[in-house]
Structure 1
């Protein structure tokens, strides 16, 4: 853009012949700056955005809005207004480019410009336009926020095949047999009771007894097979197998390959021999096995209670619908046992907890810790804002972060996770999580929000900085890790708790990560950043770290040079008491 001290118009030759009938006025100006009209051709002052436009004088468009000058197949002719008789060419709606040359007008991909063409469902580009549709299971106007509403499939029995009890769910529905019956409710007549079979066994009197005596071995075998079949059907129903079938049937990418037999898993783990155990958590024991020449991790629920089964189907429902490089990949499941079994990709490097708290002086490098923190933040930001339905993890901790051969982080254990509707800011639910990582406001109010995951992530950042375990750490004054960290940060003596290995590496990003951890663990959830903001902050720190050489001296970590109390103000007085209460109350049932 240039600044001009004078402006002038010149007569241009048309077909080599000068004269008033061939004059073309040229003024370089942005189309948004001034409309193309002779009435607007006044002498401007200052700066002009540079765009060239022109018109063809003394002629108008044909009756069908065409002109010999409009060569592009998706162009149209427009008569100029407000001045002498003239016309010019434009690209049709849905196209942009040069209408004066063949194929100069190109289709606009509206799906690449969500700000101009908003779509809150599935956007599909079309020639000269686009389509915006709601996700399967929803209906409405996908072009406006919250315009798509859940379809109550159960209210429209003509639109689905459920011959049992229909239960509506967000984006789908659950169909099961009525109480006292079993079978396939998606098939007409598929649900039946045991009554007819029992009556049939008692008919026949002595003849039946004779037949039983003669065919005892055959009948015994049949009975065993029938019992085994019934047991599998019972376990299948108990483990929400019908709902799982509906989930996988809606996703052609996973389909039938996710159903794995018990026989295959027993073969893979030598009948779940204890030597194959590689870990466990609050939701089950994990075994290592070889399935179809692939090393896998198999999670088996610990306790046969309804909550564990609900956690199982919850994890399947979530993991079967999300795909992210930093979230563990679900390969399949087995529904034929009393306790459900989940099969994951095997992460050979164990958990972040194992690497961070390894015996000895050398642990993960600071560069690896910062990268792992960024990868976890990317996964949580995806769950909170990029998934089709926002998901809150509820149990972020170092033992739930798996690492592969290249130390790439994978968030795992979604048994406690919770869906939350896009138009909701939170949901009231039973408190789940791990003491030390648990959001204090969620613990006391039972109101779960995305900021609860932010708090747990902040605790994980403190753990990466200090190499201290949040659920067992106690300062000399009896303070927990989060409280003591905030206190030292306010006093400007955080060096007392920072991992000495990080101090040796002398990285500039430590100060910023410490400040970010303090913001994430603020007592009031509204004062905490979102996971998307956390991700952007860590991304910037990683980018700065790669570009700027480390010239920091060791002196910055001394008490007087680490971080002054004026750099970050924390509301810590109430936070001390609340953390203390959480850890004390953990000894008693809620």
Structure 2
């Protein structure tokens, strides 16, 4: 039987060579080849169609998210979607806010440790607004400001990639699960350097940059407790005709009442918010505008009535040998939250005063 089949196949091949295909004993083999070939062509056409559709969709994302503008920035990287997919997993989530969640991961040929910020809600931004935010952060290069590494435009909402800051936020170490003991000189050091970052934005760049949402969750800390101002979602380049906004955004517990009522955003708006942060830093209590026992209101009432600041100060630092330091910090807080905007100090002056206090605290 084996010999017979072998001969039959040879005969079939012989007849094929002579052109007598119709008489071949195995026509189904060639029908199969034709079907496979047709399926391959259909699959190839479908693949090309899907590839073109994906490219068109990607191009739309790029145009919508300001790619023509961002291409001109040479100190940030435009990442591909595939670069971020391994990081954007639930197991890598390190924090979650009202508007976005942050993932920790490594990226690039050098395996750099980064924080990837992904918006939670699909609220399509205007391309100029997003591009403006990236431009702001690419211009701000300072040791007390979180560095932006790049972004990815291949999503409905563009995703930002930052340097990873190890200790989390000031909110974490003051109030949450990462709460740790902090000495007076460490607190003044954190306050002074955070003020340095904001002062740089306000006074030491070619165009004034406002943050607009200064609060403990937006001040990150590295292993050495060096603060880095972060989250520039509300931030904007100041322009003479563009200081007012109809949509006041931010945490009202730290928000300047003047800004809240008028929509006028100025450098003194950040000063007010910083004053509330400074109050939290020395008291280790949460500020809340909607709490009947509002920390700021009670502090201002006590200050007005000539009461000592010690009753508000965190017990970890209340036993200092230099009570005058705490009194000086209290004076800065009161000046920062003054409802008369013109009487608030400049951030650069606040930074200088806090730096002096931090050095003095170290020598105690």
Alignment TM-score, normalising by the size of structure 1:
0.52
Q: Any conservation in 2 of the 1:482–1:521 contact (CA below 8 Å)?
A: no
Aligned-partner Cα distance in 2 for 1:231–1:445: 40
Question: SS state of the match for residue 313, structure 2?
Answer: coil
* Structure 2 match to 1:216: 42
* Deviations 1:163-199 (CA, angstroms, capped at 9, x unpaired): xxxxxxxxxxxxxxxxxxxxxxxxxxxxxxxxxxxxx
Q: Any conservation in 2 of the 1:314–1:414 contact (CA below 8 Å)?
A: no
Please tell me the root mean square deviation across aligned C-alpha atoms, in Å: 2.3
Aligned-partner Cα distance in 2 for 1:445–1:317: 27
Q: Which has the higher helix share?
A: 2
* Structure 2 match to 1:172: none
In the alignment, structure 1 segments of 5+ residues that lack a partner are 1-210, 550-590
Alignment of 1:431 with 2:245, yes or no, is no
* Structure 2 match to 1:241: 67
Question: SS state of the match for residue 105, structure 2?
Answer: strand
Q: Any conservation in 2 of the 1:426–1:448 contact (CA below 8 Å)?
A: no
Q: Any conservation in 1 of the 2:185–2:361 contact (CA below 8 Å)?
A: no
Aligned-partner Cα distance in 2 for 1:524–1:351: 30
Q: Any conservation in 2 of the 1:285–1:301 contact (CA below 8 Å)?
A: yes
* Structure 2 match to 1:489: 303
Question: SS state of the match for residue 101, structure 2?
Answer: strand
The counterpart of 2:144, out of the listed 319, 322, 326, is: 326
1:174-573 aligned at under 5 Å gives the runs 215-246=41-72, 248=73, 251=74, 254=75, 258-267=77-86, 269=87, 272-292=88-108, 293-307=111-125, 312-358=130-176, 363-421=181-239, 424=240, 427-429=243-245, 430-471=247-288, 474=291, 478-491=292-305, 492-508=307-323, 509-547=325-363, 549=364
Q: Any conservation in 2 of the 1:284–1:302 contact (CA below 8 Å)?
A: yes
Task: Quote the offset at 1:472 in angstroms.
Answer: 6.7
Question: SS state of the match for residue 427, structure 1?
Answer: coil
Aligned-partner Cα distance in 2 for 1:515–1:318: 32
Aligned-partner Cα distance in 2 for 1:495–1:416: 35
Go from structure 1 to structure 2 and tell me whether the alpha carbon gap of 1:288 and 1:308 turns closer, same or farther (over 3 Å shift): farther
* Deviations 1:255-293 (CA, angstroms, capped at 9, x unpaired): xx60111111112x1xx2111111133442110011132
Task: Quote the offset at 1:505 in angstroms.
Answer: 4.1
Aligned-partner Cα distance in 2 for 1:546–1:298: 36
Q: How many residues align?
A: 323
Question: SS state of the match for residue 504, structure 1?
Answer: coil
Aligned-partner Cα distance in 2 for 1:239–1:425: 24
Aligned-partner Cα distance in 1 for 2:242–2:200: 17
Task: Quote the offset at 1:313 in angstroms.
Answer: 2.5
Question: SS state of the match for residue 289, structure 1?
Answer: strand
Q: Any conservation in 2 of the 1:351–1:400 contact (CA below 8 Å)?
A: yes
* Deviations 1:351-395 (CA, angstroms, capped at 9, x unpaired): 110001145985322211100100011111110111111001000
Go from structure 1 to structure 2 and tell me whether the alpha carbon gap of 1:531 and 1:361 turns closer, same or farther (over 3 Å shift): closer
Go from structure 1 to structure 2 and tell me whether the alpha carbon gap of 1:346 and 1:359 turns closer, same or farther (over 3 Å shift): closer
Question: SS state of the match for residue 503, structure 1?
Answer: coil
Go from structure 1 to structure 2 and tell me whether the alpha carbon gap of 1:398 and 1:214 turns closer, same or farther (over 3 Å shift): closer
* Structure 1 match to 2:12: none
* Deviations 1:425-463 (CA, angstroms, capped at 9, x unpaired): 982113122111000011111111111000000000101
Go from structure 1 to structure 2 and tell me whether the alpha carbon gap of 1:308 and 1:482 turns closer, same or farther (over 3 Å shift): farther
Task: Quote the offset at 1:496 in angstroms.
Answer: 2.7
Task: Quote the offset at 1:213 in angstroms.
Answer: 7.7
Question: SS state of the match for residue 432, structure 1?
Answer: coil
* Structure 2 match to 1:561: none
Aligned-partner Cα distance in 2 for 1:436–1:366: 24
Go from structure 1 to structure 2 and tell me whether the alpha carbon gap of 1:425 and 1:407 turns closer, same or farther (over 3 Å shift): farther
Task: Quote the offset at 1:497 in angstroms.
Answer: 2.1
Higher RCO (Cα < 8 Å, 6 or more apart) = 2
Go from structure 1 to structure 2 and tell me whether the alpha carbon gap of 1:531 and 1:506 turns closer, same or farther (over 3 Å shift): same
Go from structure 1 to structure 2 and tell me whether the alpha carbon gap of 1:510 and 1:458 turns closer, same or farther (over 3 Å shift): same
Aligned-partner Cα distance in 2 for 1:244–1:495: 50
Q: Any conservation in 2 of the 1:425–1:449 contact (CA below 8 Å)?
A: no
Aligned-partner Cα distance in 2 for 1:259–1:361: 36
* Structure 2 match to 1:166: none
Go from structure 1 to structure 2 and tell me whether the alpha carbon gap of 1:527 and 1:212 turns closer, same or farther (over 3 Å shift): farther
Question: SS state of the match for residue 288, structure 1?
Answer: strand
Comparing 426-435 with 237-246, which one deviates more in the overlay?
426-435
Go from structure 1 to structure 2 and tell me whether the alpha carbon gap of 1:358 and 1:399 turns closer, same or farther (over 3 Å shift): same
Q: Which has the higher strand share?
A: 1
